[in-house]
A and B are shown apart, each in its own frame.
Chain A
Amino acid sequence: MAKIKTPAMEKIEKKNAKRKKPVKSTPARESWKRFKRNPTALIGLAVVCVLILIAVFAPLIAPYGYKTQDYSAMMQAPSSTHWFGTDQFGRDIFSRVIYGTRYSLIIALFCTIAAFFSGGLLGIIAGYCGGKVDTVIMRIMDVFQSIPMIMMAMCIVAVLGNGIPQLVAAIMFASMPTMARNNRAAILRVRGSDYIESSEAIGVNQFQMIVKHMIPNAVGVMVIYFVGFLAVSIMMMSSMSYIGVGLAAPTPEWGLILNDGKAYLTSAPYMMLFPALMIMVTCFAFNLMGDGLRDAFDPRLK
């Protein structure tokens, strides 16, 4: 019912008539509704889904193996048989880039999980406990932050050689401080809320407080940091492989592919162009998704 009928009202009535039954309005559902309304966020999500599919179905999509060398087709520009061209060993760049998606996404995930459970957890503890514990943990994080990531990676590689665990370890140590700081902020924001005080007043103990009230409410913000960090790890990973302290050849990781093409930048720019584009698109997609999540969870935009 209304006082005046406007065209906007009729549009909404038509929309509501199509809907079957009223759905429960939990905060999670409200956030998802807000996310859906954001076009850039949906684009980010779509691209990420496509990338995941590429990673899963890589063997079906890539026409060649990532190691397959064809000496009769070395240094070829993009053509109908080799969409992204071939490198100096006759390997199809398109296939390498496709397989590279697997490495990038999976290693990024490992790095983020590792950083989350090390730095992130420390941040949660610092935020919750406050006082001396907080100070000690955050000052230790400051020490880690003062060591340049590349240097740390080089030291680790010098001792243990190239490889996935070494890469993950280097990225984990490098990103612990930021993860700690972000999660600490997330917990502090929740800890200052009135409903935490209200729970204390009814006698909820510390453990229940963290598990039932603080973490569920801080999770939204932490998810945003998690997704954002996936983009950051991909950048870090590629940078390290580019300078040789990441993964070892012939792994088709995008940074390594970039490295391969370094010497031929002027003569065969396509060798660097495509892996660079992939890195850019992937990071962009994760960032769009992360921004969309932040807007969806932010109650002020309601």
Chain B
Amino acid sequence: MENLVEIKNLKKYFSTPRGELHAVDNVTLNIEKGKTIGIVGESGCGKSTLGKTLMRLYNPTSGEILYNGEDIANMPTKKFKKNYRSSIQMIFQDPYASLDPRMSVLQLIEEPIKVNKKGLSKAEATVKAKEMMDLVGLAARLEGSYPHELDGGRRQRIGIARALSLDPDFIVCDEPVSALDVSIQAQILNLLQDLQKERNLTYMFITHDMSVVKHISDDIAVMYLGRLIEKCPANEIFKNTIHPYSQALLSAIPIPNVHVKKERMILKGELTSPIDPKPCCRFAARCPYTMNECMEKEPELRELKPNHFVACHCAEQFVK
């Protein structure tokens, strides 16, 4: 399977008055065409920043992003917008804040078409927008409605229609179902899967919800404080969890089964600061298995099993 996106040593730092905030730190990742990669992690891990940097909503500090072989990270913004804006799109997290409240549903879906496809006339753009509405399951009578009249599920469908209207190949989904009720979440996840099959889309699915990510992803990458700490096929993460943080994350999830008494791995302390971090393992301060090496050197991402990468000095003890 060929790779659509190859991320190499990507860094995104933000300058703050207190120092450099390492939001994304040296991430290397490949994304196969037509597949879904799930990016998991808790708040502050850098997953959203990673997605937005791929979209060039942020300009990378260093590193490469090869899209179909061409480096889009260091490309001039104008060239990127001209050639790749339509191919790489995003679905946003908050369906309540990511839609301009002054525009109607039809106007919101027409906007990307009108802004990008200069070849289409106004009438043609409207026709395409209506097609999109149908595709994502929005009733035609909602054309003139405004976002504040609609519920979260419908608003998120508008977001999906906006992203799809440019016929992209790659979509970054930034926590698209986190703000939705469980029953609506199921509808949206099914919709995303159907669209992927029909249009051969590639997804980067960013979330903190492990059960959602398992359902929708082919591969999973776990992030912690800006670094990629584990990457493997979706099933592997649950059957053969290696990195201690991944273990803690999985053990923390409450299971809706009364008879399973979980052995919980409680992490001590809180997140360490992402500002000018010391050159040691970022997780060392909270890890129950910390050794001397962990406090002195940052672990590299190593392939411990076929297609299963982990960044941990003492990972061998967890490999089954």
Q: From B82-90, B132-140, B242-250, give the one contacting chain A.
A: B82-90
Q: Which of A201, A205, A213, A216 contacts B57 (CB 8 A)?
A: A201
Interface hits, A205-220 → B, CB 8 Å: 205, 208, 213, 216-217
Complex contact A198–B101 (CB within 8 A): no
Q: How far is the CB of B23 from chain A (nearest CB, A)?
A: 16
Fill in one digit per residue for B156-176: 1 if any A CB lies within 8 Å of its CB, else 0. 000100110010000000000
In the complex with contacts A201-B55, A203-B85, A194-B115 CB distance below 8 A: no
Complex contact B115–A195 (CB within 8 A): no
Q: How far is the CB of A213 from chain B (nearest CB, A)?
A: 6
Question: Chain A binding site: helix, strand, loop or mixed by DSSP?
Answer: helix
Question: Chain B binding site: helix, strand, loop or mixed by DSSP?
Answer: loop
Chain B residues with CB under 8 Å of A213's CB are 100
B220: CB under 8 A from chain A? no
Q: Considering only CB atoms, which chain B residue lies closest to A202 in the complex?
A: B112
Q: How far is the CB of B168 from chain A (nearest CB, A)?
A: 10
Complex contact A217–B100 (CB within 8 A): yes
Fill in one digit per residue for B49-91: 1 if any A CB lies within 8 Å of its CB, else 0. 0001001010000000000000000000000010001100110
Chain A residues with CB under 8 Å of B115's CB are 202-205, 208
Complex contact B89–A199 (CB within 8 A): no
> Count of B residues near A, CB < 8 Å?
30
Interface hits, B115-163 → A, CB 8 Å: 115-116, 144-146, 148-149, 159, 162-163
A70: CB under 8 A from chain B? no
B24: CB under 8 A from chain A? no
B99: CB under 8 A from chain A? yes
In the complex with contacts A194-B98, A195-B100, A199-B111, A25-B149 CB distance below 8 A: yes
Complex contact B92–A198 (CB within 8 A): yes
Chain A-chain B contacts (Cβ-Cβ < 8 Å), number: 67
Chain A residues with CB under 8 Å of B163's CB are 202
Complex contact A203–B116 (CB within 8 A): yes
Complex contact A27–B148 (CB within 8 A): yes
Q: Which of A199, A200, A204, A217 contacts B101 (CB 8 A)?
A: A217
Q: Considering only CB atoms, which chain A residue lies closest to B104 in the complex?
A: A26
Q: Considering only CB atoms, which chain A residue lies closest to B165 in the complex?
A: A202
Q: How far is the CB of A214 from chain B (nearest CB, A)?
A: 10
Q: Which of B85, B94, B102, B112 contacts A194 (CB 8 A)?
A: B94
Complex contact B100–A203 (CB within 8 A): no
Chain B residues with CB under 8 Å of A201's CB are 55, 57, 89-90, 92
Chain A residues with CB under 8 Å of B90's CB are 198, 201
Q: How far is the CB of A90 from chain B (nearest CB, A)?
A: 57
A30: CB under 8 A from chain B? yes
B97: CB under 8 A from chain A? yes
A197: CB under 8 A from chain B? yes
Q: 17 additional contacts, CB 8 Å, given A198-B90, A217-B100?
A: A26-B146, A27-B102, A27-B146, A193-B97, A194-B98, A195-B97, A195-B98, A195-B100, A198-B162, A202-B85, A202-B89, A202-B111, A202-B115, A202-B162, A202-B163, A205-B115, A217-B101
Residues of B within 8 A of A (CB): 52, 55, 57, 81, 85-86, 89-90, 92-94, 97-102, 111-112, 115-116, 144-146, 148-149, 159, 162-163, 166
